[in-house]
Amino acid sequence: MFTGNTTTLVIAVLVTTLMTACGGGEIGSDEYIAPGYGSIATNRITGSGAINANYSWQGSANSAAIAKCGAGCATVLEFGSYMCGALARGNGPTFGWASHSRKSNAEGDALSACTTRGGVNCVVVLSACNDS
């Protein structure tokens, strides 16, 4: 029925059609990218704080931040995929926290939040971003 170059052409068309229908044939094009979750925990009495990023589940991120922060700490911020979180601390201790898609913006917003809450000499003490 088909001969030589015609057979090759038909096979090439079929392969191209199947690859297009199945996602283009790029290596890794159908890979699942897990969402990233982050968390900030603080203790307003002791002034301790902790941040975690790139957890596959929000509950794990929260638990890890609280464990790292220590006794009496609580989650104050959760941030999701491709987001950054930042924690600023002033005298008192007064905290400010924020999230944003850009780390520098999260840090700036955390400083502003710290000052708004009455913090003096606020500085960014922690920041991190989710890779996915």
Q: Is the peptide bond before 35 cis (omega within 30 degrees of 0)?
A: no
* Residue 73 vs residue 14, higher pLDDT: 73
- pLDDT band for position 24 (cuts 50, 70, 90): very low
In this prediction the pTM is 0.74
Predicted pLDDT of residue 71: 96
- Sheet containing strand 123-129, edge to edge, reads 94-100, 84-90, 123-129
Is the pLDDT at 112 greater than 90? The verdict is yes
User: Among the residues of 1-132, which ranges form H helices?
Assistant: 4-21, 58-69, 103-116
The DSSP symbol for 27 reads T
Predicted pLDDT of residue 42: 97
